[in-house]
A and B are shown apart, each in its own frame.
Chain A
Amino acid sequence: MTETQNRRRLIENLIGLLATQIVVFALAFYIYQESTRIETAQNQVLNLQLEDAMSLYAENCAVCHGLNGEGIGSNPALNNPALAEMPYEDLYKTISRGRYGTSMPAWSKDDGGPLSDYQISEMVGLVQAGDWAATGDRVVNLGLAPLIPFTTQPDVLLLEQVGTLPDGPTLQAAIQLFAAECVACHGADGLGTKIAPTLNNPLVRQKTADELNRTITFGSAGTLMAAWSNKLAPEQISGMVSLIQRWDEIPAGAIPAPDVPIATTAESLALGQTLFSQNCSRCHGPEGQGTQRAPALNVKSFLTDTNDQAIEQIVTGGVPGTAMPAWGDRMTQVDIQAIVGFIRQWEASAPEVAIPTRGSGGGPPWLRTNSTTTTTNANTAATTQTGAMATGAGTGTGSSSSGQGNGQGGGQNQVASTPAWWQTLNWPILLGLTALLSIAFTLISKGYTTLKKK
């Protein structure tokens, strides 16, 4: 056996020895840290499930139990230490089968609900160990913040007018009761919301008094409609029935929409800012100061007089007869609410009167004034604030459109605006292409020249 063969064999044997040692020591270390790893993994699994549960909460529960699980009206709070102490089985049973005589329906698929057993166990985890502030943020980011809690005050003049109708006082009392208890779900003037149906409707009016009375007294199984006999006296219920049956006589606006601010998070504000600058700034100005084409939004006169619901309504439906289109066709409710939240946070620093600006939007880019010099100090303060928030954009659980469209490397297949192919070239692409081409050509030329040599 030669010298080199011997040396090789020695090296090979040493590699084998090293491998054996790695196996032994690595396993020993792994055994040593396994209990820690299991603990970490359990936390990870819990966090994973809480993460799911927060979205489920936003989609299914926030409507009744509130933004942060604080409870709405007669629906109980969930962010309650006593509830977190309850045994797993009790919570599981309550969620999966509902609670008889309350508006809590059965959520299990077995009982006709939407949630799987696994999802219900995740929800139990949320009740027991959830972070309710984070849950509230999730609800807002998904655009599912409940339009509640609210009650409203009946319009005084119109209420007097109702008093002149036959049996006026009953109707007046019913209207007041509706404004206090029912408007949260059944909406202003009983026109309904996304949670509960409209009551101010000929079809409902056709129903008999008995039928309506029964629904209010015993609730409607499988829906959020609770049995109100627990809370209302029989004469209150019958008053409510006559209100429903005679709603066509009540003047519109008697029970006005409440002023409920749209909740925001850092993430939703950043999204709102992005969407505003992409879609709204061309007409309303980069900082909402208005242009010749559209009125200023960043003024006290607009912001104090128009509540969030009204702005949302304007953005969604547009303003007929003006250049303001209906954005509801192009944007999701999440997007629109984010924009409304973004506009609303100008209010604190908005000037009393709009500062007229030059029209900025026409002409080639080099003639366009993007940074307005006419804004007030207060406005720049607002801009830096939102700018700081924008840095947080795209890091969270990206709601619908944030982060998309940016960071597109090749820029292909973009529906909105496809740039010509040469516009997508940047130095990483060129570098990669050069590397690829040089590798390919080296191989080809090497192969080719050695072939030709023969």
Chain B
Amino acid sequence: MTEPNPPDTMLDRLRERLTPEEFPTDDRGRIRMVVDSLVLHLHPSKVPVTTIKWSYTWGLGGLSAVLMTILALTGIILLNNYTPSVPQAYLDILEIRSNVWFGELIRNLHHWSANLLIIVAVLHLIRVFLTGAYRPPRELNWLLGVAMLVLILGANFTGYLLPWDQLAFWAITVGTSIITYVPLVGESIGRLVLGGPEVGANTLLNFYSLHIALIPLGIFGLMSYHFWRVRKDGGLTLPKPVDPAPDPLTWQKPERVTTIPHLVRRELIYTLGWFAALLLFAMVVPAPLEGIANPDISPNPAKAPWYFMGLQELLLHFHPLVGAIIMPGLAITGLFLLPFFDVTSASVGIYFRSRRGRSLSLLALGLATLLTPAWVLLDEFVLDWVGWLPGWDSLISNGLIPLALIALGLFLLDGWAVKTFGADTEERVLFLAVFLFTAFVILTMIGIFFRGPGMALYLPWNMPAAVH
């Protein structure tokens, strides 16, 4: 290619520099475009045609990144209209609602994107789990992903307080009270996070700084690392047919197509589609806002943010140390250790590992759907450990004993899967994980929809209005 002479006038030279290059018509040009572009070179220049199928990844990782971008942009706009002090914070939210042009739209977008992000991030984690994409060499990226999920929950939780209304104040009060159950250091950590003995002006300032600086910095940092590692680990895992499972040695690698237009086009459509849906939703459904926070009047029931309702539900059934610390701690630890425990590489890229894995997952799904509500009802109305074992420490009677029973139940389920169906390691992991995750989702739903005043069980359509 010969370089053309630069144009004569400065204006022309400026124009030439700023007008986009012509869109390439051949694959060579398309590849060059990807490689030369700052944003696009996140992608490889060519991608396997099977990995860009909708039904393999569902675009969940990309959607998370899009939502993070929306959150960052709307967040910066909100920053300009917000003061993290009591009671100005609440007045500012009222001001955003009633006096700032498009203030309500921006706030709604921010609120709903944040809530959607939690769902999408969890679904992304599930997708990666179900296709076995966390296995070597992708262990590190799994860890980064789990760490980001924790940060996303942190960002949501800290953002929840900022409107400083009754909903925010009491949800954070309930949510942070869980911290104090950590043995030995719980009180100190609680005081550090809250900046005092209870939620107040210092908490607002702490949460504000976490929400607008520390956590976003962490998320965007990890996000870049996460993207880079995807490339370093050889791109996405390749989807494989379940039946017959291909031999890894003789299996034919799929055809590769150029990123432009095949991948970029779909990303653009997907982003536009979700943005349109989100925009419509944010225009129609306002983000909740209650009266100004009043530490003297607690609403009944006082619920944590919805994504922690599963935890709050556990707290209703177990001693706090077990329900709030041991069980979630085990879950997070399990997530972190998963890629070092389950390392089979043969089934990577196959949803649910195998035919048997699919059946076992259905079985686990059904069992958890049956057993979780049954156990909640049983514990609510029949089980009374503290009353049955008078004189025992409630940590043992209402914590370790039921925990041991549940562990025993899981052990029996596991043994059943091995003995009766001949499940191997990866299928056992899948079986138990599907069971536990379904149980957690059901607990969360019970907490959100079935708990009323006094945290008593109610049917959603008979739920009395919260008493303030």
C-alpha spacing A404/B300, complex, angstroms:
12
Task: Spot the interface stretch: A148-156, A223-231, A272-280, A408-416.
Answer: A408-416
Known pairs A38-B101, A432-B459; A447 contacts B363 (CB<8 A): yes
B91 to chain A, nearest CB (A): 7
Let me know if B269 and A408 touch, CB within 8 A.
Answer: no
Most chain A beta-carbon neighbours within 10 Å: one of B91, B275, B292, B362: B362
A291 to chain B, nearest CB (A): 33
Query: What is the 8 Å Cβ interface bit string for chain A, positions 99-133, against chain B (1 contact, 0 not)?
Result: 00000000000000000111000000000000000
Query: What is the 8 Å Cβ interface bit string for chain B, positions 88-126, against chain A (1 contact, 0 not)?
Result: 001100100111011011000000000000000000000
Let me know if B276 and A443 touch, CB within 8 A.
Answer: no
Let me know if A436 and B360 touch, CB within 8 A.
Answer: no
Let me know if B98 and A45 touch, CB within 8 A.
Answer: yes
> Which residues of A from 387 to 424 have beta carbons under 8 Å from B?
398, 403-404, 407-410, 412-413, 421
Query: In the complex, how many residue pairs between chain A and chain B have their CB atoms under 8 Å apart?
Result: 141
Residue of B nearest to A14 (CB): B269
C-alpha spacing A52/B291, complex, angstroms:
8
Let me know if B105 and A30 touch, CB within 8 A.
Answer: yes
**Which of A18, A48, A441, A451 is the one whose CB lies under 8 Å from B359?**
A451
C-alpha spacing A388/B90, complex, angstroms:
41
User: Does A34 interact with chain B (Cβ within 8 Å)?
Assistant: yes
B460 to chain A, nearest CB (A): 8
Contacts of A413 in B (CB 8 A): 454, 456-457
Let me know if B272 and A20 touch, CB within 8 A.
Answer: yes
Residue of A nearest to B286 (CB): A41
Contacts of B363 in A (CB 8 A): 443-444, 447-448, 451
Known pairs A441-B366, A448-B363; A410 contacts B459 (CB<8 A): yes
User: Does A165 interact with chain B (Cβ within 8 Å)?
Assistant: no
Residue of A nearest to B453 (CB): A404
Give the interface residue-count category, chain A.
35 or more
Query: What is the 8 Å Cβ interface bit string for chain B, positions 318-333, against chain A (1 contact, 0 not)?
Result: 0000000000000000
User: Does B462 interact with chain A (Cβ within 8 Å)?
Assistant: yes
Known pairs A118-B90, A412-B380; A41 contacts B97 (CB<8 A): yes
B375 to chain A, nearest CB (A): 13
Let me know if A116 and B454 touch, CB within 8 A.
Answer: no
C-alpha spacing A296/B462, complex, angstroms:
38
Let me know if B279 and A38 touch, CB within 8 A.
Answer: no
Let me know if A409 and B459 touch, CB within 8 A.
Answer: yes
C-alpha spacing A42/B97, complex, angstroms:
8
User: Does A321 interact with chain B (Cβ within 8 Å)?
Assistant: no
> How many residues from B make CB contacts under 8 Å with A?
56
Let me know if A19 and B273 touch, CB within 8 A.
Answer: yes
**Which of B266, B275, B355 is the one whose CB lies under 8 Å from A19?**
B275
By secondary structure, the A interface counts as: helix
**Which of A41, A408, A439, A442 is the one whose CB lies under 8 Å from B458?**
A408
Let me know if B370 and A23 touch, CB within 8 A.
Answer: no
User: Does A429 interact with chain B (Cβ within 8 Å)?
Assistant: yes
Contacts of A38 in B (CB 8 A): 98-99, 101
Contacts of B94 in A (CB 8 A): 45
User: Does B421 interact with chain A (Cβ within 8 Å)?
Assistant: yes
Residue of B nearest to A404 (CB): B464
User: Does A437 interact with chain B (Cβ within 8 Å)?
Assistant: yes
Let me know if B370 and A440 touch, CB within 8 A.
Answer: yes
User: Does B176 interact with chain A (Cβ within 8 Å)?
Assistant: no
C-alpha spacing A17/B283, complex, angstroms:
20
Residue of B nearest to A40 (CB): B98
User: Does A204 interact with chain B (Cβ within 8 Å)?
Assistant: no
A263 to chain B, nearest CB (A): 24
Let me know if A408 and B276 touch, CB within 8 A.
Answer: no
B233 to chain A, nearest CB (A): 28
User: Does B57 interact with chain A (Cβ within 8 Å)?
Assistant: no
Known pairs A37-B104, A412-B381; A22 contacts B458 (CB<8 A): no
By secondary structure, the B interface counts as: helix
**Which of A30, A412, A441 is the one whose CB lies under 8 Å from B283?**
A30
User: Does B87 interact with chain A (Cβ within 8 Å)?
Assistant: yes
B289 to chain A, nearest CB (A): 9
Let me know if A409 and B272 touch, CB within 8 A.
Answer: no
User: Does A164 interact with chain B (Cβ within 8 Å)?
Assistant: no
> Which residues of B from 40 to 91 have beta carbons under 8 Å from A?
87, 90-91
Query: What is the 8 Å Cβ interface bit string for chain A, positions 150-185, against chain B (1 contact, 0 not)?
Result: 000000000000000000000000000000000000
Let me know if A16 and B273 touch, CB within 8 A.
Answer: yes
Let me know if B464 and A444 touch, CB within 8 A.
Answer: no
C-alpha spacing A36/B291, complex, angstroms:
23
User: Does B373 interact with chain A (Cβ within 8 Å)?
Assistant: yes
Let me know if A26 and B362 touch, CB within 8 A.
Answer: no
User: Does B465 interact with chain A (Cβ within 8 Å)?
Assistant: yes
A52 to chain B, nearest CB (A): 6
> Which residues of B from 252 to 295 have beta carbons under 8 Å from A?
265-266, 268-269, 272-273, 275-277, 279-280, 283, 291-292
C-alpha spacing A446/B362, complex, angstroms:
7
B335 to chain A, nearest CB (A): 24
B396 to chain A, nearest CB (A): 25
B457 to chain A, nearest CB (A): 5
User: Does A12 interact with chain B (Cβ within 8 Å)?
Assistant: yes
Known pairs A410-B459, A429-B459, A447-B361; A440 contacts B366 (CB<8 A): yes
> Which residues of A from 295 to 354 have beta carbons under 8 Å from B?
none
Known pairs A22-B280, A408-B462, A412-B457; A444 contacts B275 (CB<8 A): no
Contacts of B87 in A (CB 8 A): 116-118
Let me know if B283 and A26 touch, CB within 8 A.
Answer: yes
User: Does B367 interact with chain A (Cβ within 8 Å)?
Assistant: yes
User: Does A15 interact with chain B (Cβ within 8 Å)?
Assistant: yes
User: Does A450 interact with chain B (Cβ within 8 Å)?
Assistant: yes
**Which of B102, B105, B275, B365 is the one whose CB lies under 8 Å from A443?**
B365
User: Does B388 interact with chain A (Cβ within 8 Å)?
Assistant: no
**Which of A30, A428, A451 is the one whose CB lies under 8 Å from B461?**
A428
User: Does B32 interact with chain A (Cβ within 8 Å)?
Assistant: no
Known pairs A436-B369, A450-B359; A19 contacts B276 (CB<8 A): yes
C-alpha spacing A428/B459, complex, angstroms:
9
C-alpha spacing A111/B206, complex, angstroms:
29
Contacts of A398 in B (CB 8 A): 465, 467
User: Does A232 interact with chain B (Cβ within 8 Å)?
Assistant: no
User: Does A13 interact with chain B (Cβ within 8 Å)?
Assistant: yes
10 A-B pairs with least C-beta separation: A443-B366, A447-B363, A409-B462, A447-B362, A409-B459, A444-B366, A16-B269, A440-B370, A413-B456, A19-B272
Since A23-B272, A30-B102, A441-B366 are in contact, a sample of 18 more A-B pairs with Cβ atoms closer than 8 Å, ordered by chain A residue number, is A12-B265, A15-B273, A19-B272, A19-B276, A19-B277, A37-B104, A42-B98, A116-B87, A117-B87, A409-B459, A409-B463, A413-B454, A444-B363, A446-B359, A446-B362, A447-B359, A447-B365, A451-B363
List 13 interface pairs A-B (beta carbons < 8 Å), by A numbering: A12-B266, A15-B273, A19-B269, A19-B276, A23-B275, A26-B280, A37-B104, A44-B98, A117-B87, A410-B457, A443-B365, A444-B367, A446-B362
